[in-house]
Structure 1
Amino acid sequence: MALFYRLRTMAADRAIDEIKDEYLYFSSPDKLNDPMESYIFAFWQGDLVVWKNLFRHYLLCLDFVMVQHHFGIQPSIDDIVLGIESISSIPARSGFIGETVNKIFSDSVINEFINNISARKTKVYEEELVFYLDMFKDYATSVLINSYQTSGTDFTVTKKLADEFVRAYGNLKKSNFFDVMNSYCSTTDNEEKAVRMLFMISSNFRDSIRQSIFGDINDPASLLGINMLSFSGLYVRASKRLLFPKWATVSFMKDVSNPVVWSHYGASHEGMCMIFETNQVENKECLRVLKPVSYNGDGYSYEFRELGLEDVKYSGKLPEVDFFANIGMLPTPQLMKSWYTFDNDRSCLADTVGEPNSEIRHRAQWDSFNQKTLTKLESWAYEKESRLVCDELFKPLLSDDDRKLKFDISQLKGVVFGLGATVDNKIKIRNAVLEKNRDRDGANIDIYQAYYDPHSGLVKHFKLPV
């Protein structure tokens, strides 16, 4: 057993409600204090099969968005990326899609283009991938529009889009672009970093030009016209949803004597701190949380389950994720069909999803997920953070109420008033604690007052009479 501390502000009385209603609020990564929490630092490197399937997947998403936009619907790119295979298999669409895919991938120029990308000897990062997809988009849009017209849908068509791809790719060939990239990037890490920096600068330059001409290009709802100004960038960011499940977390600390953590997370010392005592299960410190464990037609059934606290690891850089090797949000048959085979060709990654390697792959994917959810940059090391992490595979946490998971009140051992906590808030907290102590059997929830210790320069606390 061990003690873990959860610093809280008094904003909107949420901390008091957490005691009264006995819940922990699981925050999504984009709501955490570090904006890098929701960022996945991915790279793309693989054989021709997975690269062809990436361009195919991009084409399917592009087609769906164009059709939806034509009918005045603004779909979520995030949802499209995850569900596009199901959408494309609908009988009314599958024939059209199959013909269009065959038409595009039977083009020798497209095949040569993708083959050159797959032959890259070093990692392709996000900005470079967007560059290639932007080139492909012009050609794909032209073919799609022509196919719509053939099928009777009225789109304004221009052959200039396809011509633009042929011209741009022709310029790359003349300059031996891919040979130069392979030769340059394979020399040292510095060259690879320089190439990535060039693509980042180029991407920002293009975005600035688009912004000045077309307005807010970061608003997804405004980007779904035929020009699709920033569709490729939106697609690449959204495609990372194929890697890991959505997740949410609750943060704790093993020690709250650092005045800085009270300043940052305890509302400048005006908040409070909840003290929890864990159970040790299989050498892991755990808290009991009421979790959904089954589902039937009437809804979810809940039980208290032990959820392990995991220490956050602090690193000089974020972990890199191999995109093609870590697609974890698709069933194995769909993963094989949509990513690891193309026509009659198999990717070298196909063997990893079958027996006896499937269990190894499964463990590797969860290790990658844990590394993502439990790694922060070294500048955050002062927090000494531990987390409860909840993935959303079984039950999505869609609303605020879904994110409030009930904890076992017997594990709440105390609350600490911050140095600057107001008398009014202290009375509210004290009353909530007294009510819980009256209702529970066994040890009470203790109340403490934080104080500054001039000898150590730390924040300590002493026990108050309840």
Structure 2
Amino acid sequence: MTNKFYRLRGNPKYILDELREQYILFSSPDELNDPMEGYRDITWTGDEIVWTNFFRKYLYCLEHIYSLFILSDEDFTISEQNIPIFNRLNSFPTDEYAHIFSDIESKFFGERSITEYIRSISCLKHPVRRNELLTYIRLIHLYAIDTILKTYQKFRLLPQREELEINPVEMIQELIDADIFCKMDLDISQDDKHRQSTEELFSVFEEISKQVALVHRCNGIVERNESNIFFVHYDFPEKFLNQLELILYPEWYSASFMSEFSNSSAWGHYGNSHQGICLIIQSNDAKDNPFLRLRTITGWSSSSGAYYGIMSFPLYKMRYENPFLPLDFFKSIGRLPYGQLMDDWYSDKHKTISTCADWINTQEEWRKAYWERFCEASLVKTKDWEYENEYRLILSSILTDYSSLESRKLKYEFSALDGIIFGIKTPMELKQEIIKIITEKCTSENRNDFLFYQAYFCHKSKTIKSNPMPLLKFK
């Protein structure tokens, strides 16, 4: 049994290159058209141990970025890729550096308001969502920067400066004294209306923060090394959370196909306004589960590096659903080795183990659910995209880095390319180039069953259909 799937291609240069080299290009979520691609409704619920370690990680990364800011010149632009999210918390280039950070950490967590603040967050009964957590980080961000600066001055890494006119922890203490966290928990527990109102409030806080940052940028308040200053003072909390999500699941890439080619909007968007083409791909089937055989990295050798082989990639059917299932951050950290998990996240300085580490005792069950959630995020889109009738190949690995473009060009067998449909407005020159490439491949493969088709708009069905081009034959 075989199934046919359709892959629209638009850019003439890429079309010719992909046909010559006979590969399927996998794209990152950022390169796809839906901003919600790969979205996960991440929530944070945990005890004081994991929350303290969360802010330790935040402080560690902030100090690293601030040191880059101090040392860099105006030509170096700091980005979220510079945030050392995968580093261990005891990873420092020198003993002196480790001593400096230990001093920063002692001062930060030695402030009574900070420890009470973290304890209050850990006592929350409702799941903390992204905008709420961003608010909590922003409230202590100024104090964290001030702590780093004062420690740098103590060790004579920076000259002395005047004290801040405001006390960065005063607002934090006021929130604690007003018992805001317990009151908020009580409101949320009453009904969904209170929960939604609270989430909307935190969304407003975050939107205001972004608008303030934009106003400062537009007014040009800071002149020297402006982009880096804004990154440290305004952008860092959000960029830190972006990077932190990377420790949950490996990065993934996808290649999209459709179960039919009749939608004019799809041709307009993915087929370069009908000037592109549509590949007809014939899948293999195993018990009615379609897959494609592609050449990719299948292992590594210590002497010769990566070696390649043929692997079967399932064609997953996309689901079009509006809700996104919540994902508990502290129970989903799947990319870190066991030792780092225990040291950096699941234990405190007294070696007390967090209750969030209970999943370790049920690893087989947890791992099954872990990968199910991974597929859930990469195979769900909102109902707005339902017209695409999409199927998707997924490329991902904990061991292999697919960040380079070349590593994501996976070759397929020529026999899997059943035919090509020319778009309604495909230029004649492009058709000629494509026919020339396919002719050479058919000759090389001794193949005479390849078919070209011409797309047209059917006024009766109001859809795109195609006619075969039988005069284009291969001997």
Amino acid of the residue matched to residue 33 of structure 2?
N
Partner of 1:112: 116
1:5-16 matches, cutoff 5 A? 5-9=6-10, 11-16=11-16
2:149 pairs with 145, 148, 158, which one?
Answer: 145
1:445 pairs with 437, 447, 450, which one?
Answer: 450
Change (3 A) 1:74 1:451: closer
Partner of 2:211: 208
CA contact (8 A) 2:86 2:247 kept: no
1:342 pairs with 320, 340, 348, which one?
Answer: 348
1:263-412 matches, cutoff 5 A? 263-281=268-286, 283-296=288-301, 297-344=303-350, 345-353=352-360, 355=361, 357-412=362-417
1:461 Cα offset (Å): 1.9
Distance 1:394 1:410 in 2: 30
Partner of 2:67: 67
Amino acid of the residue matched to residue 121 of structure 2?
I
Amino acid of the residue matched to residue 426 of structure 1?
K
Distance 2:382 2:410 in 1: 28
SS at match of 2:128: coil
- C-alpha deviations, 1:212-248, integer Å up to 9, x for none? 234489xx98144796233212212221122221111
CA contact (8 A) 1:138 1:164 kept: no
Question: TM-score, normalised on structure 1?
Answer: 0.91
Change (3 A) 1:460 1:226: closer
SS at match of 1:398: coil
Partner of 1:21: 21
1:81-96 matches, cutoff 5 A? 81-85=84-88, 88-92=91-95, 93-96=97-100
Distance 1:26 1:169 in 2: 46
Change (3 A) 1:214 1:260: closer
Change (3 A) 1:175 1:108: closer
Change (3 A) 1:205 1:423: same
1:187 pairs with 175, 185, 190, which one?
Answer: 190
SS at match of 2:406: coil
Comparing 223-232 and 147-156, the one that deviates more: 223-232
CA contact (8 A) 1:130 1:232 kept: yes
Distance 1:50 1:206 in 2: 27
Change (3 A) 1:156 1:65: farther
Comparing 15-24 and 54-63, the one that deviates more: 15-24
Comparing 321-330 and 390-399, the one that deviates more: 390-399
CA contact (8 A) 2:359 2:366 kept: yes
1:111 Cα offset (Å): 1.5
Change (3 A) 1:319 1:81: farther
SS at match of 1:35: coil
Which consecutive residues of structure 2, in runs of 5 or more, have no partner in the other structure? none
1:197 pairs with 190, 193, 200, which one?
Answer: 200
SS at match of 1:270: coil
Amino acid of the residue matched to residue 229 of structure 1?
Y
Change (3 A) 1:419 1:178: same
Change (3 A) 1:53 1:90: same
SS at match of 2:139: helix
1:62 Cα offset (Å): 0.9
1:155 Cα offset (Å): 4.6
1:141-180 matches, cutoff 5 A? 141-157=145-161, 159-160=163-164, 164-180=167-183
Distance 1:51 1:156 in 2: 32
Partner of 1:235: 240
Aligned length: 460
Partner of 2:253: 248
Partner of 2:431: 426
Distance 2:184 2:448 in 1: 67
Partner of 1:44: 44
1:358 Cα offset (Å): 1.6
Distance 1:440 1:111 in 2: 70
CA contact (8 A) 2:331 2:357 kept: no
CA contact (8 A) 1:223 1:230 kept: no
Distance 1:255 1:85 in 2: 48
- C-alpha deviations, 1:243-296, integer Å up to 9, x for none? 221111110011112223222222222221101111123552111111111223
CA contact (8 A) 2:253 2:394 kept: yes
Change (3 A) 1:180 1:144: same
Q: Identity of aligned pairs, percent?
A: 29
SS at match of 1:428: helix
1:309 Cα offset (Å): 0.9
Question: TM-score, normalised on structure 2?
Answer: 0.90
Distance 2:381 2:167 in 1: 43
Amino acid of the residue matched to residue 124 of structure 1?
V
Distance 1:75 1:279 in 2: 46
Distance 2:375 2:70 in 1: 41
Amino acid of the residue matched to residue 212 of structure 2?
I
2:105 pairs with 101, 119, 135, which one?
Answer: 101
Distance 1:240 1:39 in 2: 11
CA contact (8 A) 1:69 1:225 kept: no
Change (3 A) 1:261 1:56: same
Distance 2:336 2:287 in 1: 31
